[in-house]
Amino acid sequence: MKALVIGAGGVGSAIANIASRRTFITSMVVADRDLKRAEAAVNRLGDNRFTPASVNAASVDDLCALIRTVDPDVVINAVDPRFVMPIFQACEIEGVNYLDMAMSLSKAHPTAPHSQVGLMLGEEQFARDEAFKSKGIYGLVGFGVEPGLSDVFAKYASDELFSRIDSAIVYDGSNLVVEGYDFAPTFSIWTTIEECLNPPLMWEKERGWYTTEPFSDLESFDFPDGIGAVECVNVEHEEVALIPRKIDAGKVAFKYGLGSHFIDILKTIHTLGLDKTEPINVQGVSVSPRNVLAALLPDPATLGSMMSGKTCAGIQVKGLDKAGNPKAVYLYNVVDNAFSMGEYGDQAVVWQTAINPLIALELIERGEWNPNGINGPEWFPAKPFLDLLESYGTSWHIREESIEGISL
């Protein structure tokens, strides 16, 4: 399989690093606006299947030109979600398969942002389903770890464990610490702000999709493998837009284990207007406050050697098992930063994200998954994905949860 990766940041570089250990990738071009960053991502591999390139991910014309030059089987979008649509559109124009880890951006409802849905995450992409099908190409959307692996867990729970799903709640948390920094997000601050300060997307079977207040429904969730209790809140995330499309569930939500310190900082960022993306005039220079904030903070890809701890991605599913008895489980994947840095030289959060698109592509190359049009992780059988997960150096587990409150 020939692949073109757009973005040589933490995730894009980790994708190339992991792919260098998989034989199904016959060639991979890693492209970035900063050619030196693309070169660095490739040079550390010492593998002639991998080459660097430069591209402006905001320019459809520039992207189309690179796609024509590379002629890949698939384009992997590994940049911020603000660039989803240019890359997605370029793939449609050029008739090439597409994969991302974050879907097209939402737009809040103009008059009732904290109760009604405006433009939903991924809606612009699903609108092109027939267009992709007509060209015989696929778009795999939301195929990171969250969204991505958590959606695969939801599919597995539906197929293998439950006869009725009352709730499917994604819980994402960690005990990662970055030495020497009071505030150093381990993932893109641009994306983190987008997720955490937008109205959280919710799903209830009787109500459909709706929204609520940012940082709503604060609770402490006990994460496994020694991570422990972390304060979690509702956050806008793609799983809530994806899971109900294919899985019959009474309720779907996403809860991010931010912790009180991180939540307070994000609230301050919002209060000061530093989350805004619209440019403002500063002494004759037009700048985006969020871009300025991102420039001030350290690049998450560079923090691995200063990080310690573990990160956990998973979903808690409650309902009735196949025999009709109350059942509740938490399906999860934990990655220790010491492992990912020691074995790959990539910090835990980006490594945990990067393995999943490659597993999906390997299943496609094997013919075990056959996507057509716009597809999320729930469109395919989960067991082949989970069976392949361990060959990538990680594992998944099921923890039994309290069945209190589940009715027959």
How far from chain centre, in Å, is Cα 189?
A: 14
Angle at 196 between CA 269 and CA 173, to 5 degrees: 115
Note the pTM of the prediction, 2 decimals: 0.93
DSSP assignment of 190-216, as one string?
Answer: HHHHHHHHSPPEEEETTTEEEE--TT-
**Using a CB cutoff of 8 Å and minimum separation of 24, what contacts does 390-395 make?**
392/18, 392/355, 392/358, 392/359, 393/339, 393/343, 393/355, 394/333, 394/335, 394/352, 394/355, 395/333
Angle at 25 between CA 357 and CA 137, to 5 degrees: 60
Output phi, psi for 314, to 5 deg: -175, 175
The model's pLDDT over 375-403, given as tens digits with 9 standing for 90+, comes to 999 999 999 999 999 999 999 999 999 99
Instruction: Give the whole-angstrom CA distance, residue 404 versus residue 159.
Output: 23
pLDDT at 183: 77
pLDDT at 259: 75
Question: If you ran DSSP here, which 8-state letter would residue 107 be given?
Answer: B
**Contact present, 324 and 163 (Cβ < 8 Å):** yes
Instruction: Give the whole-angstrom CA distance, residue 408 versus residue 399.
Output: 21
Task: State which amino acid sits at residue 196.
Answer: C
Secondary structure tally for the chain: helices H, strands E = 14, 20
The structure tokens 């990538």 sit at 392
The model's pLDDT over 297-330, given as tens digits with 9 standing for 90+, comes to 877 778 778 889 999 999 999 999 999 999 999 9
Name the helix (H) or strand (E) containing 188.
none
The model's pLDDT over 71-89, given as tens digits with 9 standing for 90+, comes to 999 999 999 899 999 999 9
Count CA within 13 A, CB hemisphere, residue 280: 11
Query: Where in 55-160 does DSSP place strands (E)?
Result: 74-77, 97-100, 138-140
Residues 6+ apart with CB under 8 A from 205: 244, 248, 249, 250, 251
Nearest to 151 by CA among 385, 378, 397: 378
Instruction: Give the whole-angstrom CA distance, residue 408 versus residue 406.
Output: 7
Mean pLDDT by 10 residues, the chain (408 residues): 96 97 98 97 96 98 98 97 96 98 95 96 98 98 96 98 98 90 74 84 97 94 96 95 98 90 84 87 87 82 84 98 98 97 95 97 97 97 96 96 93
Output phi, psi for 125, to 5 deg: -75, -45
Tokens read off for 49: 């299947």
Task: State which amino acid sits at residue 318.
Answer: K
pLDDT at 187: 66
